[in-house]
């Protein structure tokens, strides 16, 4: 498959990338690792007139201790997230889940910011950032703004980013010492999850987020509410698919995904120590 014709420009700084986005508007797309965008272009599901390459902006590739959170540059590769000692100590769920993304080739090219900005509900890391209560930092011509992960994913492959904004940083509250679990059911190790679950223990229960159970990455609010009201792990897990409309495809029916979500949520809660 061959993409439609497009122009290409490599940005040398975040400010230049924002300037190019402002200039070209909806006709422009950012290119980082390319693992999400290029397949869409080959299928003609995305036909940008201008590709702005931000893949070499080292200023946006870092993992730093931010005091009460860990700050991660949007262009940090999955492999760097997977192997970061800071994340292993302060947000081990994110480091662990990054090791399950695709295969080594994907993890050495794909970026955390690219995955989040793409907003695929079948992707692992958006759900993990949701469960961890992360915040995303976007920069545009008017300056920076912080977007809670709960407000970031708005529709299928649709996020709160404006056409002239660049995702620059992801902030993850520190979660050292808190029980956690990441459960992923797929046919092959490098496949998308048929269903996935990210769970982090809290003082009143747990934050639980689901992969591939709707049109966006989803917090399992019914599970969280059941735990907060004193329900057992088994009873809370039965609410995993409550109010959700999971997709049906060649890998699983809607009902199969509902059942699988209940099983995986129970396993995740038990592993997280509830």
pLDDT at 17: 93
What stretch of H or E contains 104? helix 104-109
Token pair belonging to 128: 């993990």
Whether residue 164 sits in one domain with residue 62: yes
Checking if the pLDDT of 13 tops 90, the result is: yes
Of 137, 156, 173, which marks where a domain is finished?
Answer: 173
Whether residue 115 sits in one domain with residue 70: yes
Tell me the C-alpha distance between 1 and 252, whole Å. Answer: 27
Tens digits of per-residue pLDDT, 63-74? 999 999 999 999
Of 156, 173, 190, which marks where a domain is finished?
Answer: 173
Checking if the pLDDT of 42 tops 90, the result is: no
- Residue 85 inside a domain? The answer is yes
CATH number of 21's domain: 3.30.43.10
Whether residue 137 sits in one domain with residue 69: yes
Domain ranges, residue 236: 181-271
Checking if the pLDDT of 35 tops 80, the result is: no
Of 129, 149, 173, which marks where a domain is finished?
Answer: 173
**Length of the chain, in residues:** 274
Whether residue 191 sits in one domain with residue 220: yes
Tens digits of per-residue pLDDT, 204-234? 899 999 999 999 999 999 999 999 999 999 9
- Residue 2 inside a domain? The answer is no
Instruction: Indicate the Cα dihedral angle 95, 108, 47, 149, nearest 10°.
Output: 10
- Residue 80 inside a domain? The answer is yes
CATH number of 118's domain: 3.30.465.10
Domain total for the chain? 3
CA distances from 146 to 12, 18, 84, 111, 173 (A): 24, 17, 24, 19, 14
Tens digits of per-residue pLDDT, 255-266? 999 999 999 999
Whether the Cβ atoms of residue 137 and residue 167 lie closer than 8 Å to each other: yes
Token pair belonging to 85: 């000692």
- Residue 1 inside a domain? The answer is no
């Amino acid at each position: 498959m061959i993409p439609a014709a497009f122009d290409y420009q490599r940005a040398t700084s975040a400010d230049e990338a924002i300037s190019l986005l402002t200039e070209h508007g909806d006709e422009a797309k950012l290119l980082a690792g390319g693992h999400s965008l290029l397949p869409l272009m080959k299928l003609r599901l995305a036909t940008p007139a201008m590709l702005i390459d931000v893949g070499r902006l080292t200023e946006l590739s870092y993992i730093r201790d931010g005091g009460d959170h860990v700050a991660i540059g949007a262009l940090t590769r999955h492999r760097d997230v997977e192997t970061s000692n800071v994340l292993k100590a302060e947000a081990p769920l994110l480091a662990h889940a990054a090791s399950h993304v695709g295969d080594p080739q994907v993890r050495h090219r794909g970026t955390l910011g690219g995955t989040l900005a793409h907003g695929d509900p079948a992707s692992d890391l958006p759900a993990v950032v949701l469960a961890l209560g992360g915040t995303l930092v976007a920069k545009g011509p008017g300056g920076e703004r912080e977007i809670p992960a709960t407000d970031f994913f708005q529709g299928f492959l649709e996020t709160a980013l404006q056409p002239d904004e660049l995702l620059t940083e992801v902030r993850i509250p520190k979660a050292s010492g808190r029980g956690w679990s990441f459960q992923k059911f797929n046919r092959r190790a490098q496949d998308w999850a048929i269903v996935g679950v990210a769970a982090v223990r809290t003082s009143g229960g747990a934050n639980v987020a689901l992969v591939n159970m709707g049109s966006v990455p989803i917090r399992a609010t019914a599970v969280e509410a059941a735990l907060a009201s004193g329900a057992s792990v088994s009873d809370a897990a039965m609410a995993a698919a409550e109010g959700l409309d999971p997709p049906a495809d060649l890998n699983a029916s809607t009902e199969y995904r509902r059942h699988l979500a209940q099983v995986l949520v129970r396993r995740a809660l038990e592993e997280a120590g509830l």
